[in-house]
């Protein structure tokens, strides 16, 4: 079974802090994705990556950056956390060329 893990299930940070969310997958997938999930808005794509050191902006990249130094790991960075970034963050991975994505359990981030 594909396993996607995220570094924390719950995280509380203060406004202005730099926040790192880590995602690791164990199936050698080329594609990795970061989404945020908010009530009534569904899933919105923040960034995605096709390969190591490759990244592309999704629909809502403002206030976020990403890093992919190794194939299995995709990090989401909030350079200066703000309260409007309080949300559920979901990571996913997929085989290159296929649409089927496998999701991690999510990180619920609260910025106070």
Partner 1 sequence: GDSVTQMEGPVTLSEEAFLTINCTYTATGYPSLFWYVQYPGEGLQLLLKATKADDKGSNKGFEATYRKETTSFHLEKGSVQVSDSAVYFCALGGGATNKLIFGTGTLLAVQP
Q: Select the span of 14-22, 64-72, 74-82, 104-112 touching partner 1 (CB under 8 A).
A: 104-112
Which of 22, 46, 31 has the alpha carbon at shortest distance from 102? Answer: 31
Q: How far is the CB of 31 from partner 1 (least distance, A)?
A: 6
What DSSP string runs through 18-65? Answer: -EEEEEEESS--SEEEEEEEETTTEEEEEEEESSTT--EE-S--TTEE
CA angle 97, 103, 109 (to 5 degrees): 130
User: Binding marks (x or -) toward partner 1, 73..92, rule CB under 8 A?
Assistant: -----------------x-x
105 binds partner 1 (CB under 8 A): yes
103 binds partner 1 (CB under 8 A): yes
Q: Select the span of 13-21, 39-47, 69-77, 78-86 touching partner 1 (CB under 8 A).
A: 39-47
DSSP 6: E
40 binds partner 1 (CB under 8 A): yes
Q: Are the C-beta atoms of residues 21 and 75 closer than 8 Å to each other?
A: yes
Number of residues that bind partner 1 (CB under 8 A): 25
Q: How far is CA 72 from the centre of its chain?
A: 13
Q: Give the binding site for partner 1 (CB under 8 A).
A: 4, 31, 33, 40-43, 45, 48, 56, 58, 90, 92, 94, 96-106
């Amino acid at each position: 079974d594909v396993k996607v893990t995220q570094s924390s299930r719950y995280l509380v940070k203060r406004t202005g802090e730099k926040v790192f969310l880590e995602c690791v997958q164990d199936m050698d997938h080329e594609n990795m994705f970061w989404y945020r999930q908010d009530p009534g808005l569904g899933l919105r794509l923040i960034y995605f990556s096709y390969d190591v050191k490759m990244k592309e902006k999704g629909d809502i990249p403002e206030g976020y950056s990403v890093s992919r130094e190794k194939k299995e790991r995709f990090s989401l960075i909030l350079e200066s956390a703000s309260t409007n970034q309080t949300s559920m963050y979901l990571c996913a991975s997929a085989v290159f060329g296929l649409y089927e994505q496998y999701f991690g359990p999510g990180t619920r981030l609260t910025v106070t």
